[in-house]
Amino acid sequence: MKMPTSTLSRRIAELENQLGVRLLDRSTRRLRLTDVGAELLEHAERGAQVSDAVASIASNYGSTVSGTLRLSAPPSISDSFLAPLIIGFQARYTDVRVQVLIAERAVDHIADGVDLVVRIGQLSDSALVGRKLISYRHQLLATPDYLKRFPPIRHPEDLAQHRLLSFARWKPRDRWIFEHVDGKQKETLFFEPYLSMNDYAGLAPVILQGVGIGELPPIVLPGLSRKTSFIEVMPKWRFRTFDLWLLHLNHRHLSQAVRAFRDFAIESSPALFPNLPR
């Protein structure tokens, strides 16, 4: 056991005192187990075997990236952000199965049985650990055809004369808050949407058809935005910046699958959207 005999003798004596029984019969030349010592050794050996088995299972689990990973994300980004991220992850870690919950509501890690949650906005739950994946600002977009047919727009108040398409749910009035690139001016526009919808992926084709002016995140249908002639309206007046987070519970011992996906997402997300407006 690579320890001094005196240390081992002391530990055995401490164990005998703790149990209140004699484990060894000692003489100046020999040692032998007592009956209770022999019985205790048998149980101890079984316990050691179980301990070794548990350590082996934990070691194998910790070194192998496998199992089931449960993710959650809000609507609108499942196809443009989450799907390519998962495809790339499973190409690298082929033994990991992935289950995805798409939900507009706030997801509870424990109640919903989720390992990682993609969330947009600010962190408020101190029990969660967040890793920022990307930052971006929404853009106010329209088609050239629409802008030709309606009055020019130079200031946020000019938008009151236009058909405004809003991300909203059953709200008769909405608002947009703009900040000027000079960092000094701020304007808030209250308006009644010409069309409101609680799905950015649904608003994008409506804007594309020249129906009106709408707000879109650059991570929603990015291929559509690149391939069409969207024009950013009032580029010097901008929406605030949003952060996209990956959240998990504040646990020290995360599974290898959770750690691997977290690290992969941090590494890969900026490459998915290399030229985000900020």
Residue pointed to by tokens 């994008």: 204
At residue 170, the pLDDT reads 77
Between CA 80 and CA 274 the distance in angstroms is 13
DSSP 17: H
User: Which pair of structure tokens corresponds to residue 105?
Assistant: 């509501």
Q: Which residues of the chain form CATH 1.10.10.10? A: 5-63
Regions of the chain short of the pLDDT cut 50: 59-62
User: Which residues make beta-bridge pairs with 98?
Assistant: 69
Torsion of CA 122, 127, 131, 136, to 10 degrees: -10
What pLDDT does residue 111 have?
Answer: 83
| Share above pLDDT 70 across residues of the chain, in percent, rounded to a whole number | 88
Give me the phi and psi of 136, to 5 degrees please.
-165, 165
pLDDT at 27: 66
The CATH number, out of the four listed (3.40.50.300, 3.90.226.10, 1.20.1250.20, 1.10.10.10), of the domain defined by the range 5-63? 1.10.10.10
What pLDDT was estimated at residue 143? 92
For tokens 């009055």, the residue is: 151
Q: Which element (helix H / strand E) includes 179?
A: strand 174-180
pLDDT reported for residue 108: 82
- pLDDT recorded at residue 261: 95
Q: Could you confirm whether domain 67-137+242-272 is CATH 3.40.190.10?
A: yes
| pLDDT of the residue at 223 | 65
pLDDT recorded at residue 225:
55
Residue 136: per-residue pLDDT: 92
| The predicted structure's pLDDT at residue 239 | 92
pLDDT of residue 121: 77
